[in-house]
A and B are shown apart, each in its own frame.
Chain A
Amino acid sequence: MNATACGAAPAIEVAGLRKSFGSVEAVSGLSFAVVRGEFFGFLGPNGAGKTTTINMLIGLARPDAGTIRVGGIDCTRNPKAAQSLIGVVPDESNLYPELTGFDNLSFCAALYGLPKAERTARARELLAAFGLEKAADRRFGGYSKGMRRKLAIAAGVIHRPEMLFLDEPTTGIDVASARQIRQFLSDIHRAGTTVFLTTHYIEEAERLCGRIAFIVSGRIVREDTVARLLDPVKGRHLVRIEWNNRAGEMCARLAAAFPELSFQPEGPGLVRVESGEPVRVGPLVRFLEEAGAEVAEARRLRPSLEDVFVQVTGLAAGALGREEEKGGHAA
Chain B
Amino acid sequence: MKRWIAFWNIVAKDMRAYYLKPPNISWGLIFPLAWTGMLFIRTGSGLESILSVLPGVVCVSILFGTTSMLAVTVTFEKKNRAFERLLVAPVPLELLMLAKTGGAIAFGVANALVPIILASFLVDLSQLDAGVVVPAVLLIATASTFLGLFIAVAVSEVFEAQTFSNFFRFPMLFLCGLFFPIAKLPALLRPLSYALPLTYGADLLRGGIVGGNALPYALDFAALLAFCLTLFAASLWNVRRRWIA
Contact = CB atoms under 8 A, between A and B. Distances in A.
Given A110-B5, A110-B6, A112-B6, A94 B92 contact: no
Given A98-B17, A99-B17, A113 B5 contact: yes
Contacts of A112: 2, 6, 89-90
**Chain A interface: which size bin?**
20 to 34
Interface stretch (B78-86, B148-156, B183-191, B214-222): B78-86
Given A62-B245, A83-B89, A107 B9 contact: yes
Contact of B82 (A59, A60, A94): A94
B87 interface: yes
Contacts of B89: 83, 111-112
A83 B244 CA distance: 14
B85 A94 contact: yes
A115 B244 contact: no
B9 A110 contact: yes
A54 B150 CA distance: 28
B85 A95 contact: yes
B244 A111 contact: no
B81 A90 contact: yes
B91 A95 contact: no
Interface string A81-119: 101101010101011111100010001101111110000
Contacts of B88: 58-60, 83, 86, 88
B1 interface: yes
Interface residues of B, number: 23
A40 to B, nearest CB: 19
Q: Which of B5, B10, B245 has the most CB of A within 10 A?
A: B5
A160 B116 CA distance: 49
A174 B237 CA distance: 42
B244 A81 contact: no
A115 B5 contact: yes
B85 A80 contact: no
Interface in A62-87: 62, 80-81, 83-84, 86
A114 B5 contact: yes
A196 B87 CA distance: 19
Contacts of B91: 80, 111
Contacts of B2: 112-113
B237 to A, nearest CB: 14
Nearest to A116: B5
Contact of A113 (B6, B10, B17, B84): B6
A294 to B, nearest CB: 48
Contacts of A107: 9, 13
Given A111-B9, A113-B6, A114-B5, A61 B84 contact: no
Given A111-B6, A112-B6, A113-B2, A59 B81 contact: no
Contacts of A92: 81
Contacts of A86: 88
B84 A60 contact: yes
Contacts of A59: 87-88, 244
Nearest to B1: A113
A96 B13 contact: yes
B244 A62 contact: yes
Contacts of A111: 6, 9-10, 85-86, 89-91
B2 to A, nearest CB: 2
A113 B91 CA distance: 9
B90 A81 contact: yes
Interface in B77-126: 80-82, 84-92
A328 to B, nearest CB: 28
Given A94-B80, A96-B17, 15 more contacts: A59-B87, A60-B244, A61-B245, A81-B90, A83-B90, A84-B90, A88-B88, A90-B84, A94-B81, A94-B82, A103-B13, A110-B9, A112-B2, A112-B6, A113-B6
28 contacts: A58-B88, A59-B244, A60-B84, A62-B245, A80-B90, A80-B91, A90-B81, A90-B84, A92-B81, A94-B80, A94-B82, A95-B82, A96-B17, A96-B82, A97-B80, A98-B17, A99-B13, A103-B13, A108-B85, A110-B6, A110-B10, A111-B89, A112-B6, A113-B1, A113-B3, A113-B90, A114-B5, A115-B5
Interface of B: 1-3, 5-6, 9-10, 13, 17, 80-82, 84-92, 244-245
